[in-house]
Amino acid sequence: MKFTVERDVLAEAVTWTARSLPSRPSIPVLAGVRLEASTSGTLALSSFDYEVSAVSQISADVAEAGTVLVSGRLLAEISRSLPNKPVEVVIEGTRAVLTCGSSRFTLRTMPIEDYPALPALPPASGTIDSHAFAEAVAQVTIAASRDETLPLLTGVRVEIEGETLTLMATDRYRLALREVAWNPSTPGVSATALVRARTLSEVAKSLTSAGPISISLPTGDGKDIVGFEAGGRRTTSLLVDGDYPPVRRLFPEAMTSHAVVSTQALVEAARRVALVAERNTPIRLEFSEGQVVLEAGQGEDAQASEAIESSFEGESITTAFNPGYLLDALGVVGKEFTRLSFTHGTKPSVITGQSALDSAHDEGFRYLIQPIRFAG
């Protein structure tokens, strides 16, 4: 095998392909990246750890076709450090020789025959703008659990119903739901999948520069993988096993009180007041006509309070939230104003965004947050 490729193109492809390599592979070959050069002028780089696969295809000047397996992390480090000149890779026996300008590296190859076959990408279910998808994923993954003893809640539930794609995640203390328009391959298509939040987040972030993303969801044919493809890159992931709880019904059908406040003003006030909130203690929010007062701390401990302007409808209400959970929501609401809706101070509240103080709120993104009991 012998090929030449631009340094930046190789470095970007290797880095993307190697991003999901296991730090402690169950078998040595899983630490490798497979390079397959074709005389058609393409170089395919792939990785697989039995859970997530990644394939990146780039253009290369291929003199001799062939396949080789080398250490993925080492190849990524080397390719990023090379001078900005064409890179030549040649296989010499059991070694891969990489030359770039006056730099020369020799890498030990790994037994390609021991490398597992990559899973096939399921048929495409539809496409979505990469930036819209990345924004939607960022809005819901904040609510996914990081507790690996509850694997079901570490996932994001993906639902497609016709031209609507819905993402949902919860860690039992908050729930994020995002609905976004997309282009289904088949009218009226319906499918669901539970994808690990960490994997979904990495995929969404890494494909934002690749144009529309093609998403492949299982449609009841027994395949337990989801696939994503864009700009010569494709990745698959095993689904999280289990039945996701029916979380949609947690959103109240009717709310009795509503507050609208500047998102930035609420973020800044919450951050300041939270400085005196000890670990696992809430910040209190008291809503009344014209303002919301944020407070934290009590008794002999440090205390803080701040009032900011707010538009309010309904009876005055006092509630308390985990400041981190509140700030997470405000960080992804994506609108100039935030709407907080309540039924009671001790019942979950719903956070949505709106473009202006007097405009309709956007229910495409909803964030349900559980209040915390507080003294006083």
Q: What is the CATH number of domain 2-114?
A: 3.10.150.10
Tokens of 365: 């993104």
- In sequence order, the 6+-apart residues with CB closer than 8 A to the CB of 14 are 33, 45, 72, 75, 76, 79
For residue 219, the model assigns a pLDDT of 66
Per-residue pLDDT of the chain (376 residues; tens, 9 = 90+): 999 999 999 999 999 999 989 888 999 999 999 999 999 999 999 999 999 999 999 999 999 999 999 999 999 999 999 999 999 999 999 999 999 999 999 999 999 999 999 998 888 999 999 999 999 999 999 999 999 888 999 999 999 999 999 999 999 999 999 999 999 998 988 889 999 999 999 999 988 877 899 999 886 655 689 999 998 999 999 999 888 999 999 999 889 999 999 999 999 999 999 999 887 789 999 999 999 999 998 877 889 999 999 999 999 999 999 999 999 999 999 999 999 999 988 899 999 999 988 888 888 999 999 999 876 5
Containing H/E element for 14? helix 7-18
Q: How many CB atoms lie within 10 A of CB 140?
A: 26
What is the rounded CA–CA span in Å between residue 276 and residue 283? Answer: 9
Q: Domain segments of the chain: what residues?
A: 2-114, 126-248, 251-369
What pLDDT score does 208 carry? 83
Given this chain, do its domains 2-114 and 126-248 carry the same CATH topology? yes
Contact 211, 190 (CB under 8 A): no
Other beta carbons less than 10 A from residue 338's beta carbon = 26
Residue written as token pair 């960022």 = 138
Q: What is the pLDDT at residue 222?
A: 56
Pairing label, strands 52-59, 42-48? antiparallel
- Please give the CATH superfamily to which domain 251-369 belongs: DNA Polymerase III, subunit A, domain 2 (3.10.150.10)
Q: How far apart are CA 154 and CA 194, in angstroms?
A: 9
pTM of the predicted structure, to 2 decimals = 0.90
Residue 108 neighbours by CB under 8 Å, 6+ apart = 70, 71, 94, 95, 96
Beta-strand pair 95-100/87-92: antiparallel
Is 7:86 a contact under the CB 8 Å cutoff?
A: yes
For the record, the structure tokens of 164 come out as: 């609507």
**Between 3.10.150.10, 3.20.20.60, 1.25.40.10, 3.40.50.1820, what CATH number should domain 126-248 receive?**
3.10.150.10
Burial 240-266 (b: 16+ CB within 10 A, else e): beeebeebeeeebeebebbbbbbbebb
Phi, psi of 249 (to 5 degrees): -70, -10
Distance CA 264, CA 163 (A): 33
